Amino acid sequence: MGTLIHLRSRLREQASSACSSGYSLIELLLVVAVLGSCLVAGSLSLTHGLRMQEARGAAQSWQAAATWAQIGVLWHGGATDVKYATGLLALSHDPGQCGGDLGPSAPVVPVRTNLARWRESEGVKVSFTGAFASPDGGGSLFFDTWRGSYRVVVRPESGLTTRTRVEVGP
């Protein structure tokens, strides 16, 4: 009887030592693959979110520059151009009373427009002139992201702008 109990306890020790010896290579590879796929999915989502925020910031910056251009024309007369190219936002005023250049601090986002007269080789340019500081026509600017763009609509008479998000399907 004593030897049977001794044999059973010895078998239990061997079984428990075999189970606690560690993980197999397949189990470790499976865990690493799952973690890797989670990291890739998270980084893609983060990159997409950052691009959307950059485009939103570019649209907001352009709207602020357009407002400043209109104020400069109302105060000082003349004409003011608002130029936006990838990573460049600048205002130029005829008499030089207002204007400026954000240089490399502008968001680096591609821009396009639906009007040929606003297109330039590197971006867009909208001029504000007249007694009401109106833009040279109405139209839209598109600050592109990965799967859509931020659209800024410029009203022809007032120059008032509205910004919306435009989604593009997969």
DSSP per-residue string spanning 113-157: ES-GGGB-SSEEEEEEETTTTEESS-EEEEEEETTEEEEEEE-TT
pLDDT recorded at residue 2: 59
- Ranges 17-26, 47-56, 72-81, 144-153: which has the least confidence: 17-26
Q: Domains of the chain, with CATH numbers?
A: 29-167 (3.55.40.10)
1 confidence band (pLDDT: 50, 70, 90) = low
pLDDT digits (tens, 9 = 90+) for 29-73: 999 898 888 888 888 777 777 888 888 888 888 888 888 888 888
Instruction: Give the mean pLDDT of the chain.
Output: 80
Question: Predicted confidence band at 145 (pLDDT cuts at 50, 70, 90)?
Answer: confident
Say if residue 18's pLDDT is above 80.
no
Q: Quick one: pLDDT band at residue 22, thresholds 50, 70, 90?
A: confident
User: Closest by alpha carbon to 85, among 141, 145, 140?
Assistant: 141
pLDDT(100) > 80:
no
pTM of structure: 0.69
pLDDT computed for residue 86 by the predictor: 79
Give 99-102 contacts, CB < 8 A, sequence gap 24+: 99/72, 102/61
Task: Please say if the pLDDT value at position 10 is more than 80.
Answer: no
Q: How far apart are CA 159 and CA 164, in angstroms?
A: 16
| C-alpha to C-alpha distance for 19 and 36, rounded to whole angstroms | 27
With b for 16 or more beta-carbon neighbours within 10 A and e for fewer, the 75-109 pattern comes to: eeeebbbbbbbebbbbbbbbeeebbeeeeeebbeb
Quick one: pLDDT band at residue 88, thresholds 50, 70, 90?
confident
Mean pLDDT over 6-35 rounds to 75
Q: Provide mean pLDDT across the span 128-135.
A: 85
